[in-house]
Chain A
């Protein structure tokens, strides 16, 4: 009985991976254009309300000030510097966590006895949410760079392990039989059969991992950091530079979107390259 709440709900147990849900895109241009009405209306209301001094600037900064703050941050290099710091933390952590997750997941996927040995412990440990690890890692590692990278790696590790294991376990037996009949070598079987078949599940793991990693990184930068986009945001909040704060919120949203898109594109590219039907 391995009930793994959120990861199970995330669809790792079903045969087909279920990507993080999003609203379906409408098919027609005009329908899509309708989606712009509300944001524009909100922007107009925001602008109008601040123009008429209906909301205090201590509650909601003026849109033009946010735009100017964004321009200033981009101009004086603060944005670039902090963004690069945050992104490099994500990159290192993601690389480490994904590598470890692929290894452990592959071990569990290929060897049922290894899976029986490790899985219960793994599932029990992954019940502890990433945030609850934070004080523990802070004690062990201090609040330096290692803390951020380990936390990101931990956030990526769990879903990637689960995705990889589920992907490999889910390779249809028929495929493996065909591979045997064709007398493919082990390496060929791995590359030509198992890898493409397991790829969608593995990427589901990557995408969950990256989403959680970005969330965890922003969190730790809010709490214990002197650099990075999360720090810039909380620092501006403390100084009551709300225009900077809102600008950073936009940046954080855009980076999250960008990271998710990047992985989706990589997945599509890989699937095409290995000729798997998705």
Chain B
């Protein structure tokens, strides 16, 4: 009995049960088959999309967009965050405005950005950059503002030049927070990518593919795309963790 309980209590039981229930419900006709797809149909959709290459193309389009936007937003946020944390006057002048701007729900920027940057790729990437910008900014600011005053005094006594101060003190001290910020930024950038592909007029991308599938009432493809989007988020996060470890900070995880 004991091993049964141990097995049943494991994390794999529930997904398997759910999968079985899903398959059974579709095959026994408890779910409307005009609307629902069975697990096999989702697999078949995956195979078909891999074979005709449409999944790969959409992924590449989305990832390019995502990484371009993330790079712009994260870099701006990182530099501005470190700058504001170390230059008090700039902090007092700028931070309240930035804080107010942050209150605008992310997607409320879409109409504005589409007006200023156009409804095409520039608008999308601008939106993704904005999505990544704020978390990176806030965490870089927090990390660099928290440095122990004694270290800063010591640095002054030693007569450290500003760039040495940045490399030797500010960067290592702020790194854990920066890693958190980058991680959040990457997640928001991915969210922004999907959102941008829904809302801007789009050529290609996973989000657009998903909306097309919805228009065609293809539940199998919608579920497949959901899994793909979740999987990509996970992989991006792993990639960032790997990068953080490589930089010599194990990060918060």
Contact = CB atoms under 8 A, between A and B. Distances in A.
Query: Do A and B assemble together?
Result: yes
A117 interface: yes
Contacts of B104: 249, 252-253, 256
B253 A222 contact: no
Taking residues whose C-beta sits less than 8 angstroms from the other chain, chain A's interface range is 35 or more
A140 B230 contact: no
B11 A22 contact: no
B219 interface: yes
B219 to A, nearest CB: 6
A257 B100 CA distance: 9
B223 interface: yes
A120 B11 contact: yes
A132 B227 CA distance: 9
Given A5-B234, A131-B194, A256-B105, A21 B115 contact: no
A218 to B, nearest CB: 4
Contacts of A234: 111
Given A5-B234, A136-B226, A249 B100 contact: no
A127 B100 CA distance: 29
Contacts of A134: 198
A172 interface: no
Nearest to B182: A9
Nearest to B251: A9
Contacts of B110: 222
B138 A8 contact: no
Interface stretch (B68-76, B88-96, B163-171): B88-96
B13 A215 contact: no
A215 B106 contact: yes
A138 to B, nearest CB: 6
B233 A135 contact: no
A39 B94 CA distance: 9
A21 B139 CA distance: 7
Q: State the majority secondary structure of interface residues on B.
A: helix
Taking residues whose C-beta sits less than 8 angstroms from the other chain, chain B's interface range is 35 or more
Interface in A16-41: 21-24, 26, 31-32, 34-39
Interface in A204-224: 214-215, 218-219, 222-223
B162 interface: no
A5 B226 contact: no
Contact of A132 (B187, B225, B252): B225
A218 B195 contact: no
Contact of B183 (A9, A130, A219, A253): A9
B214 A135 contact: yes
B107 to A, nearest CB: 4
Contacts of B175: none
A129 B141 contact: no
Interface in A111-131: 113, 116-121, 124, 127-131
A21 B97 contact: no
Contacts of B98: 23
Interface of A: 3, 5-6, 8-10, 21-24, 26, 31-32, 34-39, 42, 59, 113, 116-121, 124, 127-136, 138-140, 214-215, 218-219, 222-223, 230, 233-234, 237, 242, 245-246, 248-249, 252-254, 256-257, 260
Pairs A-B, 10 closest by C-beta atoms: A35-B96, A120-B11, A128-B230, A237-B111, A135-B214, A34-B92, A132-B229, A253-B104, A23-B95, A219-B107
Given A3-B237, A38-B97, A129-B194, 12 more contacts: A5-B237, A6-B187, A34-B89, A59-B116, A120-B15, A127-B231, A132-B194, A135-B213, A223-B199, A230-B108, A233-B108, A249-B108
12 contacts: A5-B183, A9-B183, A21-B139, A24-B145, A38-B94, A39-B100, A120-B11, A120-B12, A128-B229, A222-B107, A233-B108, A245-B111
